[in-house]
């Protein structure tokens, strides 16, 4: 995010690059008309200029987690997940609550990141689209898991923006202008955090 420019005397001058902040958007729902996925799809459309937001769409492709995986030959879907997270400057989650907890498929995704360090010191946030009073147990569990993987939870970007099922349009996004404006703000604020405190890429993940 920051580039070093060397002047004629050889002194390094630090300056902010114009490179966009890359934000990976991860939905915890596999439902076709998911309100959580719709919110994140809308975030792609509402992202401010300084943010390149990408929706991760591989949740249902992931195999069941096993600690026995051969680190040299990860499942292709797991490799893609890890590469996407590693390439991102920040990650935003949005997940439903199932039976008072995270959906199993989403917890499975998170389990695939526990050993590899991809989320280590990565700025993260979430958008809770559940109706008021719903979904809190899922986000409490998400916070706990993100603590285990040592992600940096950016509290001011963790927001509740309810999305009713009938607010999802035929294109799979949410048209409401105020909703989109809130997403623009959240991503802009998250980008600032990511620029100020960039994630350290563990040595084992450097390419
Ligand atoms: C198996 C299952 C369990 C659920 N359990 C809860 C729950 O414990 N608490 C809750 O608030 N909603 C619960 N719900 C409702 C979902 O959170 C709600 O339908 C949500 O909109 C689904 O998110 P999506 O639209 O992104 O698929 C459950 C739904 C399903 C299918």
Between the CA of 95 and the centroid of ligand 1 the distance, in Å, is 9
Residue 14: inside a domain: no
Q: How many domains does the chain have?
A: 1
pTM: 0.90
Residue 151: inside a domain: yes
- Among protein residues, the one with the nearest Cα to ligand 1's atom 4 is 98
Q: Which atom of ligand 1 is nearest to the CA of 94?
A: 26
- How far is 15 from 162, CA to CA, in rounded Å? 39
Between the CA of 138 and the centroid of ligand 1 the distance, in Å, is 10
Beta-carbon count within 10 A of 72 CB:
5
Q: What pLDDT, on the 0 to 100 scale, is given for residue 126?
A: 98
* Residues of the domain holding 86: 21-199
- How far is 200 from 207, CA to CA, in rounded Å? 13
- The preferred substitution site among 57, 97, 140 for testing ligand 1, maximizing ligand atoms within 8 Å of CB, is 97
Residues lining ligand 1, Cβ inside 6 A: 29, 31, 34-36, 96-100, 130, 134-135
Residue 183: inside a domain: yes
Residue 207: inside a domain: no
Residue 16: inside a domain: no
Between the CA of 98 and the centroid of ligand 1 the distance, in Å, is 5
Residue 35: inside a domain: yes
Between the CA of 99 and the centroid of ligand 1 the distance, in Å, is 8
For 149-188, the pLDDT digits (tens) are 999 999 999 999 999 999 999 999 999 999 999 999 999 9
Residue 4: inside a domain: no
- The preferred substitution site among 28, 41, 96 for testing ligand 1, maximizing ligand atoms within 8 Å of CB, is 96
The CATH number covering residue 137 comes to: 3.40.50.360
Between the CA of 34 and the centroid of ligand 1 the distance, in Å, is 10
Q: What pLDDT, on the 0 to 100 scale, is given for residue 3?
A: 47
Residue 10: inside a domain: no
Sequential pLDDT tens for the chain (207 residues): 444 444 455 444 455 556 999 999 999 999 999 999 999 999 999 999 999 999 999 999 999 999 998 888 999 999 999 999 999 999 999 999 999 999 999 999 999 999 999 999 999 999 999 999 999 999 999 999 999 999 999 999 999 999 999 999 999 999 999 999 999 999 999 999 999 977 766 555 554
Q: Which atom of ligand 1 is nearest to the CA of 134?
A: 11
């Amino acid at each position: 995010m920051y580039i070093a420019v060397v002047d004629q005397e050889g002194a390094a001058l630090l300056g902010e690059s114009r490179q966009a902040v890359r934000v990976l958007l991860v939905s915890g729902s596999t439902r076709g008309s998911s309100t959580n996925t719709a919110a994140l799809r809308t975030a792609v459309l509402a992202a401010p200029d300084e943010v390149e937001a990408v929706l991760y769409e591989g949740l249902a492709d992931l195999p069941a987690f096993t600690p026995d995986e051969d680190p040299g030959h990860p499942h292709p879907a797991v490799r893609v997940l890890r590469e996407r997270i590693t390439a991102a400057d920040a990650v935003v989650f949005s997940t439903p609550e199932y039976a008072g907890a995270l959906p199993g498929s989403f917890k499975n995704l998170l389990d695939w990141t526990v050993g590899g360090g991809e989320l280590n010191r990565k700025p993260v946030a979430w958008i809770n689209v559940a109706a008021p009073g719903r979904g809190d147990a899922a986000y409490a569990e998400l916070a706990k898991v993100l603590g285990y993987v040592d992600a940096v939870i950016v509290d001011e970007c963790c927001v509740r923006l309810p999305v009713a099922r009938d607010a999802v349009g035929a294109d799979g996004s949410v048209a409401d202008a105020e909703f989109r404006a809130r997403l623009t703000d959240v991503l802009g604020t998250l980008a600032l955090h990511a620029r100020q405190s960039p994630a350290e890429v563990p040595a084992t993940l450097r390419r």
